[in-house]
Amino acid sequence: MRSFLGRDILSLRDFERAEYFRVFQVADDLAPYARNRRNGELLKHKTLVTAFYQPSTRTRLATEAAMHRLGGRVVGFSDVKMTRAGDFYQESIKDTVHMLEYYGDVIAMRHFQQGAPAEAARWASVPVINCGDGWGEHPTQVLTDLYTTWKELGTLDGLKVLLVGDMRMRTMHSILYAMSQFDMEAFVVSPPEMSLLPEFKAELDARSVRYREVPAAADVVGEADVIYMEPVVQPDYTKSRDERAGEVGQTPGAYRITRELLRDKGKRGAIVLHSLPRMDELPLDVDTTRHARYWIEAFNGVVMRMALLALVLGAVE
């Protein structure tokens, strides 16, 4: 297994099976800091630079919280609007990175353009962690999701995963790449205009990823061990909260996972994952079923970032 020291976390395309389990092991080892709510000192001498060109409060805060739990420091920016006027909005990634690399010891980057974190990694003298790049990938989120699945179900091999939502989303790319390393099978459910792109499907085929496109979640929910969701409807931020209230119910039934569907057709031990925020594809009354695992996913999100930061900074072997 390649060393994690100094390594960039850009994509799950090149992650190997043993590496997943190494990351899970470190996550297990570090989880007590989070569980006991007691910040440690493992990264006491290190600084994280958060370079978020798009606001993403969950991913940013989970990463920063992880750094603090291990005693590290955080500097950075959380929105390109804060940097636009007189700053590096239009600057090349190279120029920006040759500044950021001196502000800390690892860079966590969210960018609206696919490939930007990889371009940053090309120039940086410190590791770069991709926190979501356009339609590209979202490796730290999907590592969280796989870790959650592994913890909740005890294994990844032999599982059937129902993917529901917009298949162009970066999380869907990362999770399907990951499946090449496990004995997993995917059902893919999305609106036609949000389906897997042909070139991505060709790549999955080349990697022997087993997946099947299905019209509606209800068709296959009975076989799924894991239900993995993304919204198919995006909120209309030009409307007020009250105006938007009337929009609930707009997700077509084929892409919703309801309490009734889980009760009538779901597998007994199936778990539902959702990185949130949600629209109406996942009604609130699912929260109090035995299937919901999205809160523990949020907890694991911090733990996973702790593991990744500790690994690339060399605080654990």
Residue placing its CB nearer to a copy of itself in the complex, 18 or 75: 75
Is the CB of 21 or the CB of 77 nearer to a copy of itself? 77
State which residue, 169 or 220, has the beta carbon closest to a copy of itself.
169
**How far, in Å, are 145, 147, 216, 303 from residue 298 at the CA level?**
9, 12, 27, 9
Nearer to a copy of itself, 99 or 202 (CB): 99
Q: Which residues of this protein are in contact with a copy of itself, per CB under 8 A?
A: 34, 37-40, 44-47, 49, 54-58, 61-62, 64-65, 68-69, 73-79, 81-92, 94-95, 98-100, 102-105, 126, 234-235, 237, 241, 244, 276-278, 284, 287, 294-295, 298-299, 301-302
Q: How far is the CB of 86 from a copy of itself (least distance, A)?
A: 7
Q: What is the DSSP-derived secondary structure letter of residue 286?
A: G
Which residue lies nearer to a copy of itself by CB, 49 or 175?
49
Nearest-approach distance from CB 103 to a copy of itself, in angstroms:
4
Torsion of the alpha carbons at 138, 224, 164 and 308, rounded to the nearest 10: -10
Structure tokens given for 55: 């606001």
- CA–CA gap between residue 14 and residue 36 (Å, rounded): 34
Determine the Cα angle at 257 with ends 254 and 263, to 5°.
Answer: 115
**Based on CB atoms, which residue is closest to a copy of itself, 106 or 178?**
106
Q: Considering the complex, what minimum distance in angstroms separates the CB of residue 185 from a copy of itself?
A: 30
Q: Kindly state the DSSP code that residue 256 receives in the 8-state scheme.
A: -
Q: What is the 3-state secondary structure (H, E, C) of 20-82?
A: HHHHHHHHHHHHHHHHCCCCCCCCCCCEEEEEECCCCHHHHHHHHHHHHHCCCEEEEECCCHH
Shortest distance, position 289 Cβ to a copy of itself, whole Å: 15
Residue 95 CB, nearest approach to a copy of itself (Å):
6
CB of 37 to a copy of itself, least distance (A): 5
User: Is the preceding peptide bond at 277 cis, omega within 30 degrees of 0?
Assistant: yes
SS3 95: helix
Report in angstroms how near the CB of residue 245 gets to a copy of itself at its nearest: 9
Residue 198 or residue 277: which is nearer to a copy of itself going by CB?
277
